[in-house]
Amino acid sequence: MLTKIARACYDVNMDENNITEQPRRRSDGEQTHQTILDRAVKLASIEGVNQITLGRLAQATGVSKSGVYAHFKSKERLQMEIIEAAGEIYEREVIEPGLQAPEGLPRLIKLYESFLSYVEREIFPGGCFFAGLISEFDAQSGPVHEAVIAGHREWEGLVVSLIQDAQQRGEIDSGVEPAFLVFQLDAVKDHANFLYTLYRDPAWIERGRQAISRIVTQVSAT
Amino acid sequence: MLTKIARACYDVNMDENNITEQPRRRSDGEQTHQTILDRAVKLASIEGVNQITLGRLAQATGVSKSGVYAHFKSKERLQMEIIEAAGEIYEREVIEPGLQAPEGLPRLIKLYESFLSYVEREIFPGGCFFAGLISEFDAQSGPVHEAVIAGHREWEGLVVSLIQDAQQRGEIDSGVEPAFLVFQLDAVKDHANFLYTLYRDPAWIERGRQAISRIVTQVSAT
């Protein structure tokens, strides 16, 4: 999930990755590439994706600007790789743990708990990468904006399917509109993320848990 | 309200404003200053405050870089003026209309309706300036980060006082924790803002209205 963000970006912007065509240099090259990319993802989560230029990254990693250029070719390509790498982390830290819970309502609850835990554990130093990405690119047209919409729709689709599953199991009231429930839950998760990141106070995560629990209780079939 | 953001920024960063010391050039100078600033605020709401450099602004306004420099002296000072100007707009468009409603619960409801209306009317082309500012600066230390915290506390304090007033009037259940209710309401208002700005679809504002109305109904004393 959320890999559509990366895929949509790649479809628009990416060329073939030259590194795979040079097997003898692949290991070293890939390692350096990954090291620079890891740093770029962390920086982007703090400063915003648009702040991460090749020059800024050269300064932050100590790699020469031409070295960074050799790996990413352009600011646009670097940004797309950053978003793809962040998507993989989100999938590993939020989606996969969520989907490991038993089907139905427990899976829905676990998905949001995984999100709050991922914020609290500061997987990204700047808070949830994708909440920040929506805020940064919501009003900026272009491939990242389109990819943010694709990613949001994919997330929304996932949560709607979990809600419908819980409704079919008789765990959530059948009169509840799934898209409205996603809106309510996402509002809480993103707000907890922004305020935790602003204050670094776990009380905001606790408020998020409490608010989500309250919403879930309200829609639970009795 | 929210003027603390501006004040805190000024306390840290601002010198005396030279323009007021040159009365003969004041009118023209101020007008140019305001024109550049208006453009800067709009751009910042779309691209983020950190993207608005003197050079970027010169490019966007057609004023020479040295001309922009003469008005704002530094990127930091420009940013602080942008935030102050945005705070005045927020006060006029959200706070003042909210506070014109009758005291108690109607005032609380009107404050959030004013916010949703201000997003829907696209007062800032990039969505709520301050929701974006929290996201941009939540993980970045410095004067803007501190000012964002001051601004958030000021807003939270205002809403808490409105809730307490409604509780004293017997309109909101006395068992409700005001700070938790602010968290719930703000989560909805900010989420409606981000999704409206992303999709430009009034359905998100309508969802926001519905979610806020539901929360208010739940806490209303019966």
Domain coordinates of chain B in residue numbers?
3-219
Q: What count of other Cβ atoms lies within 10 Å of the Cβ of residue B153?
A: 12
pLDDT in tens, A188-205: 999 999 999 999 999 999
* Burial classification of residue A202, based on how many CB atoms lie within 10 Å of its CB (0-12 exposed, 13-18 middle, 19 or more buried): exposed
Place of tokens 């743990």: A97
Are B131 and A135 an interchain contact pair (Cβ–Cβ within 8 Å)?
yes
**Tens place of pLDDT per residue across chain B (222 aa):** 455 555 544 444 444 344 444 445 467 888 889 999 999 999 999 999 999 999 999 999 999 999 999 999 988 899 999 999 999 999 999 999 999 999 999 999 999 999 999 999 999 999 999 999 999 999 999 999 999 999 999 999 999 999 999 999 999 999 999 999 999 999 999 999 999 999 999 999 999 999 999 999 999 987
Residue type, A50: N
pLDDT of amino acid B5: 54
A125 touches chain B (CB under 8 A): yes
Per DSSP, the three-state class of A220 is strand
Helix (H, G, I), strand (E, B) or coil at B172: strand
Instruction: Pick A50's closest partner by Cβ from B45, B51, B195.
Output: B51
Which residues 6-25 in chain B show a CB within 8 A of chain A?
none
Q: State ipTM.
A: 0.89
Contact A123, A93 (CB under 8 A): yes
Burial (CB count <10 Å: 0-12, 13-18, 19+), residue B119: buried
The angle subtended at Cα B86 by Cα B80 and Cα B88, nearest 5°, is 105
Architecture of domain B3-219: Orthogonal Bundle (1.10)
Q: Which residue of A has its CA nearest to B191?
A: A187
The reported pLDDT for the residue numbered A13 is: 43
Asked whether the beta carbons of residue A191 and residue B192 sit closer than 8 angstroms, the reply is no
Test mutation, B183, B197, B212, B214, chain A, max A CBs within 10 A: B183
Residues 25-84 of A with CB under 8 A from B: 45-48, 50-51
- Determine the Cα–Cα distance for residues B111 and B168; give it in Å rounded to an integer: 18
User: Does the distance separating the beta carbons of A187 and B188 come in below 8 Å?
Assistant: yes
Count of all residues that appear for chain B in the document? 222
Extract the tokens encoding A85. Answer: 């790498």
